[in-house]
Amino acid sequence: MHLLLPVTQFLKTQHSWKAPVTVTLSSTLETVLLKLCWFRLHRVWIVDEENRPIGVITLTDVLKVFNSACEEL
């Protein structure tokens, strides 16, 4: 199963491979935003302690956080 591979090996199974940009579950929103902006990405991979992909954070996810914060004002 490809999802059990380390991120770099998983991405090598995809059509176009680029070095992954990753965060962990303990990463801050600031870190996620900086990586999305700096690397001009639409998503960053969430990895576990063994560098295996366990999820993804997209720009849509980030916008939802800000949208819900604005609705509370």
Range of the domain at 56: 2-71
pLDDT band for 19, please (50, 70, 90 cuts). confident
DSSP string, 2-25: GGGS-HHHHHHTSSS-----EE-T
What does the alpha-carbon distance between residue 56 and residue 13 come to, in Å, rounded to a whole number? Answer: 17
Domains contained in the chain, number: 1
CATH of the domain at 57: 3.10.580.10
Tokens found for residue 24 = 């962990």
**Per-residue pLDDT tens over the stretch 41-59:** 999 999 999 999 999 999 9
